[in-house]
Amino acid sequence: MRVVIMGAGYAGVACAVRLARAGRGRVEVCLVNEGPAFVERIRLHQAAVGQALAALPLEALLRGTGVRLVVGRAEVPDLAARCLWVGEQCLHWDRLVLALGCATAPGPSAAVHRLEPAAVMALARALNGMAPGERVAVVGGGLCGIEAAGEIAESFPGLTVTLFSRSPLAAGWAPAAREHLLR
């Protein structure tokens, strides 16, 4: 059986490694990603405040797993032919896994920065250029938003950081953890 996985984020890499391990040579696993490095999305808030993150080459992460890595931009899968074109290469599959993650919808202003790999360095430059007393709004009260707001407030104590969330912050957390966060 041939399995092609589109996307080498957390879900794509985990899926590829587990399938290869479980298949023990009976399953050919091919992981397709646009770039050669694994992006630690849960650490992008650190890059946003100027901390250097070590690059994690996908080749190194996958070494010894039996997973084949193809780096390049994939086209729309041809469902009838069961073929995924990556450049000039056609990857045939018996099963196709879409693990492409998500992208932030464009915001109403060019001044909006997102915790996405392509935008995080621009966010770091913007934060470094802000004067004490200026305001930063973090929209989204999930784990990434909470981490980003905390990291920005700690790294830039002169800025006023406000976290906006559509639901109560840390609503599903243990009471002690929620209390600590809200202090």
What digits encode the pLDDT tens for the residues 118-152? 677 778 888 888 999 999 988 888 877 888 888 89
Please tell me the predicted confidence (pLDDT) of residue 117. Answer: 66
**Are 91 and 70 contacting, i.e. CB atoms less than 8 angstroms apart?**
yes
Level-2 CATH architecture, domain 2-98: 3-Layer(bba) Sandwich (3.50)
Confidence class for position 103, pLDDT limits 50, 70, 90: low
pTM here?
A: 0.65
| Boundaries of every domain in the chain | 2-98, 130-182
